[in-house]
């Protein structure tokens, strides 16, 4: 699998309020910042629309100190529901990765999409829908090429509630396994000109 | 107690890695953003120094959309250990509030300081040192004048692990009670000229 090498990498995890996306973003940032030693900013922004139940959390990674911590052009967008996919898809770079929870997103705005049923995997394989965020985190971690898998696991174990370590770790690894099956080279090269690919 | 009315309010919660300061900041931001409907950005930044075990989380609140989400001149600094107090004190506004955990911070850089033994309160009154962050959150919430107490409680209940709601709520209220005893008007007016006050 390709590992993108860029100065600045911007990611947004989005969905609804109860899906644990902020937790996933905090774990991702701690893995990259504390264990991998890169510069990373992790941000949630709320405005008047926050009451609608939407949730988003951003991670910006760099080899250099980060002055502006908000994401502007996304290298990766995780959309855990249709509303988030529709609202944020336009913020992707043309060669950015759109990763959707195919259990909950039905209409894809492009065929340059990585569709994995995170919620269904969590429910059917672990019996706990609530760890869909950790399945997604594992997949996004691998697909981004921005974090060492072992760091992600360490950061996860340090943050999840005591007693849930094994469940969350299993969820993370299921997500990594799913992502490892994806051939990024087989994706259309850009979200802009699907028809040409 | 005075309620500051400013366009932009900047806060940093700081201490060591295991003290739960990111969780406290996330709850604060959700209270302000989701329940009070203001603009708020919540950020953690990591650099090479992150391995040292220090932790900081920032909250920036505004009546208007926030373009730059990092804190520059703090209106409130919570320091949950000496290293954080020493490292970040200089980022305070002259009339900003320094709030320290007096169980763990022994040397104050100014007499314009609000010293509350958050960790001791959590240990002695609740038997759980780990909820010192929620005692601090309650105090900081009240002292900042930036959030409705009821919103803070709602945001806390929505985020803490199931089964720990009552413990965390009790911690939050102990912190609010401690802060309610503080007379902000009795503080020296500025951190710059202690001797003149």
Residues B18-49: tens digit of each pLDDT: 899 999 999 999 999 999 999 999 999 998 77
Nearest Cα to Cα of residue A17 among B161, B30, B156: B30
pLDDT of residue B3: 53
- List the single residue in B39, B41, B50 with the smallest CB-CB distance to A43: B41
**Residue B68 contacts A where some CB pair is shorter than 8 Å:** yes
Query: Cβ of A42 under 8 Å from any chain B Cβ?
Result: yes
For B44, which of A42, A47, A70 is closest by C-beta distance? A42
* Token code pair at residue B155: 């945001």
Whether the ipTM is more than 0.85: the answer is yes
Judging contacts by C-beta atoms under 8 Å, the chain A residues touching residue B47 are: 33, 39, 65
**pTM assigned to the model:** 0.92
Shortest distance between the Cα of A52 and any Cα of chain B, in A, equals 9
Nearest residue of chain B to residue A68 (CA atoms)? B68
**A190 touches B: beta carbon within 8 Å:** no
Region A155-184: mean pLDDT is: 96
> B6 pLDDT band (50/70/90 cuts)?
low
Question: What does the pLDDT average to over A28-36?
Answer: 95
Contact by Cβ (8 Å): A116, A99? yes
- Contacts of residue B48 in chain A, CB cutoff 8 Å? 37, 39
Which candidate, B174, B173, B156, B175, places its Cα nearest to that of B165? B156
Q: How far is the alpha carbon of A42 from chain B, nearest alpha carbon, in Å?
A: 5
B83 part of contact set with chain A, CB < 8 Å? no
Mean pLDDT of chain B: 92
Distance of alpha carbon B11 from alpha carbon A80, whole angstroms = 31
pLDDT band with cut points at 50, 70 and 90 for residue A49 = confident
Instruction: Answer whether B13 touches A (CB < 8 Å).
Output: no
Asked whether the CA dihedral A170, A174, A180, A185 is positive or negative, the reply is negative
The DSSP code for A25 is H
Query: Is B70 part of the contact surface with chain A (CB cutoff 8 Å)?
Result: yes
Note the pLDDT tens digit of each residue in A104-131.
999 999 989 999 999 999 999 999 999 9
> Given CA atoms A21, A22, A23, A24 in this order, what sign does their dihedral have?
positive
Judging contacts by C-beta atoms under 8 Å, the chain A residues touching residue B43 are: 41-43, 69
Could you tell me if A31 lies within 8 Å of chain B, comparing CB atoms? Answer: no
In this prediction, residue B54 carries a pLDDT of 83
Residues in chain A: 197
Contact assessment for residue B19 and residue B80, using Cβ atoms and an 8 Å cutoff: yes
Cα separation, A34 vs B48, in Å, equals 8
Rounded to 5 degrees, what are φ and ψ at B108? Answer: -95, 135
Question: Which H helix or E strand runs over B142?
Answer: helix B132-144
- Is the separation of the CB atoms in A168 and A160 below 8 Å? yes
Q: How crowded is the C-beta side of A189, counted as CA atoms within 13 Å?
A: 3
pLDDT at B2 over 90: no
Q: Is some CB atom of chain A closer than 8 A to the CB atom of B39?
A: yes
Cβ atoms < 10 Å from Cβ of B63: 12
Residue B124, Cβ density class (10 Å: 0-12 exposed, 13-18 middle, ≥19 buried): exposed
């Amino acid at each position: 699998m390709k590992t993108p090498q860029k100065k600045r990498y911007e990611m947004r995890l989005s969905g609804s309020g109860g899906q644990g996306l902020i937790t996933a973003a905090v774990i991702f940032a701690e893995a990259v910042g504390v264990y991998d030693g890169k510069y990373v900013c992790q941000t949630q922004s709320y405005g008047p629309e926050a009451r609608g139940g939407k949730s988003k959390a951003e991670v910006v990674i760099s080899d250099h100190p980060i002055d502006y911590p908000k994401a502007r052009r996304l290298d990766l967008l995780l959309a855990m529901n249709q509303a988030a996919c529709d609202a944020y898809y336009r913020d992707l770079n043309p060669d950015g990765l759109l990763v959707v929870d195919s259990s909950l997103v039905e209409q894809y705005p492009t065929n340059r999409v990585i569709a994995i049923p995170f919620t269904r995997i969590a429910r059917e394989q672990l019996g706990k829908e609530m760890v869909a965020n950790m399945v997604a985190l594992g997949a996004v971690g691998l697909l981004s090429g921005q974090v060492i898998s072992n760091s992600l696991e360490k950061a996860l174990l340090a943050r999840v509630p005591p007693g849930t370590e094994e469940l969350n770790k299993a969820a993370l690894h299921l997500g990594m396994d799913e992502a490892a099956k994806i051939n990024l080279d087989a994706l259309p090269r850009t979200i802009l000109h699907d028809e040409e690919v």
